[in-house]
Structure 1
Amino acid sequence: MKNLSSDDYVQGVLAGDRVLLARTITLVESNARRHFELAQQVLTQLLPHTGGSIRVGITGVPGAGKSTFIETLGLKLTQLGHRIAVLAVDPTSSISRGSILGDKTRMEMLTREKNAFVRPSPTGGMLGGVARKTRESMLVCEAAGYDVILVETVGTGQSEITVRSMVDFFLLLLVPGAGDELQGIKKGVVEIADAILINKADGENKVRAKAARTEYNRALHYLTPATEGWRPRAYTGSALDGTGIDKIWSVIETFQEKMTEAGTLQARREAQMQAWLHTVIVEQLKQNFYDHSAVQAALPGLETAVRQGTLPPTAAALQLLQIYKTTPEK
């Protein structure tokens, strides 16, 4: 396979070439320094063509039916003429390999749609690295003409906050008949949601789903909204039979219209980009620090001194930082 120039990547993405889109995302995900530099050239050229999508984050505990929901919603949207890109954030994938093939097999019908693009989570590394790759992949998909980006959190914990920091609208999926303690949902996750969908509201679950909706609407009333000027609410639906899916999409569209008109959406995106800048600086400095040969040479001895209690951690850290600042890299 021939090496491509930055122009080759850019022209392919802008033309909507799916093969070149996939290759561009692979380039963006690469940890190799030569790929990193080329990827940044490509992204700089693509940047003027980004920002034209609705960015939706979707989270929920295992068993909430995220993949079925995303597939059902995605198929409905492609029928309406939208172009959908599905990206995953899964910091656990490098250990469990859970999402590497899982997304593809779970969303089999959606992956066959010509107006849909499903990309499993990049493997390896900490959440920060996976998040950077997902953010940059999102920009590439927007440049390729995808007007709805669905970002799924596959891992748990900090990944919800990370996805919230890269999307416009954040949707929390819950299931009926299980309390917070059973679902593993922290109050903090409810607080960052722009809407809650009680999924699997079908058959015998309908009554329980309505009761859960009432309960969450009561709770949401007392929480500070995640988005200024928007009151989050709970809804019921079933990704299996498709009920309630049109309604939740209508809620997302209303949110987009109102927040765009109020200027809130633009302000949120600008703040997200600024925060991303500082995150990348911290990550890059950390990587450079630990890659420094003099730091690597001094670190084991100082770690031993800290463990044995002969040197305070702060003093050891300051010594290492001094070494990093004053010793030229070989």
Structure 2
Amino acid sequence: MFLFCLGFAVVALSQSAAILTVNCCALTAEGFLMDKMNLDLMRVAGGNGYGNSVNFIAGWVAILPLAAGALYISKDFAKAKIALLFFLCYAGLLVYSRAGLILALIGLPAAAVILSIAKGNVRWAVPAVVAFIIAVHLPSGGWNYYASGVGSFFGANAGEIDKPTSGDRLNKSLQDQSGADRAAAVRTGIAIAKANWLTGIGTGIYARIEPEFTSPHSMLILRLAENGLLGLISILILFAFAPIAVMRQWHRRDPLALSAAISATCFAVYAAAFGAAFSDGGLIPWGMGFGLALSCLAIQPRKP
């Protein structure tokens, strides 16, 4: 697990370097959004991050709680761990995935609370990172970008989004069409899944019959569409394994197991609600990380 996290940190460094050499250094929601809307820049940076930024964020969601948990697992190299946690946080902000940041704001506080209770002490670096993410969105009206995306998903305020200029403070007129596109992809996925609910259309076939959206932006809908009812049940059981294991083994209060469970759960929520990496290049990194996280739940701590 340590080597996997280290490998992800190297990928994050590579992707961040591609962005920061062009525009150093964004500190507000406006700056991060401007980088995200530079499609050529994101394409170059994504090439360093498992092929594209979606693959990167899928792994990022699962790594952050583990990075936070490292502060509770041992006191060794505490300053290095804190620096790594802040760096990974900033690397995710550079890509500026709203879904990823929402899950980070769920996973990091969960890690801080659960691990503080389990270990009987508080590591203030974790709430400091949460405060930093929140502060990024306050001065330039970043919350408007989130509200616009949610509104367009549900059919309200759908319109073209304009690239903000250096003087644009992300005012309320800024509209985001991506929510409407995501909603259309979800509806299309549900229609395909309903038509093939028993056996599915076959693994890896979705993009061939739906070349416009290529995925339904939900791992649950994708599994139902491609693998039928049994495929959906299988992935639901897989996603439920981590929280069930924690509830059954709470008495252990092992920080590695708890961190891994939080990471696996955050990724499961991200994949189910927002979609995950569907390409082969994306499946390998998050699949390995998810498997390692689940394996940590089966490790029995040594008796003193």
TM-score, length-normalised on structure 2? 0.27
Q: In terms of Rg, which structure is larger?
A: 1
Higher strand content, 1 or 2? 1
Higher helix content, 1 or 2? 2
TM-score, length-normalised on structure 1? 0.26
